[in-house]
């Protein structure tokens, strides 16, 4: 099975924050990546995902529309839409502290 890539759309990148909307077709994946900054995720559609860590441990994750969660810099994982429908969320990365 060919895995498609999730589609990132950068909405804001002003040096302090980067706001990216991620859109996943069913089966789409971000690919393994490491977060360089603390970040916040706000689900738009909600959906069912599989999160795979560097050691290949995979954990199911359900997102509810409008919910939110935060993670620290340094997280390395792949996120894949395992649900039957398109799914999207907004990721907000904190690039710099306010003056």
Q: What is the mean pLDDT of the chain?
A: 95
Please check whether residue 99 lies inside any domain of the structure. no
More confident of the two residues 3 and 2: 3
Report the domain count for the chain: 1
**Portion of the chain with pLDDT greater than 90, in percent:** 93
* Cα separation, 58 vs 77, whole angstroms: 9
Domain range enclosing 30: 7-69+83-93
Please check whether residue 98 lies inside any domain of the structure. no
CATH of the domain at 57: 2.60.120.10
Looking at residue 96, what is its pLDDT? 81
pLDDT greater than 70 at residue 98 = no
Read off the pLDDT of residues 61-94 as tens digits, 9 standing for 90 and up.
999 999 999 999 999 999 999 999 999 999 999 9
Number of other residues whose CB lies within 10 A of the CB of residue 91: 20
Read off the pLDDT of residues 22-61 as tens digits, 9 standing for 90 and up.
999 999 999 999 999 999 999 999 999 999 999 999 999 9
User: Are 78 and 30 a contacting pair, CB within 8 Å?
Assistant: yes
Please check whether residue 1 lies inside any domain of the structure. no
Looking at residue 1, what is its pLDDT? 52
């Amino acid at each position: 099975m060919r895995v498609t890539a999730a589609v990132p759309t950068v909405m804001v990148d002003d040096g302090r924050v980067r706001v990216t909307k991620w859109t996943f077709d069913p089966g789409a994946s971000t690919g393994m990546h490491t977060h360089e900054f603390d970040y916040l995720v706000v689900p738009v559609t909600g959906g069912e995902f599989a999160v795979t860590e560097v050691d290949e441990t995979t954990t199911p994750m359900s997102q509810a529309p409008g919910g939110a969660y935060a993670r620290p810099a340094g997280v390395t994982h792949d996120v894949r839409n395992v649900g039957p429908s398109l799914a999207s969320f907004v990721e907000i990365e904190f690039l710099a502290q306010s003056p």
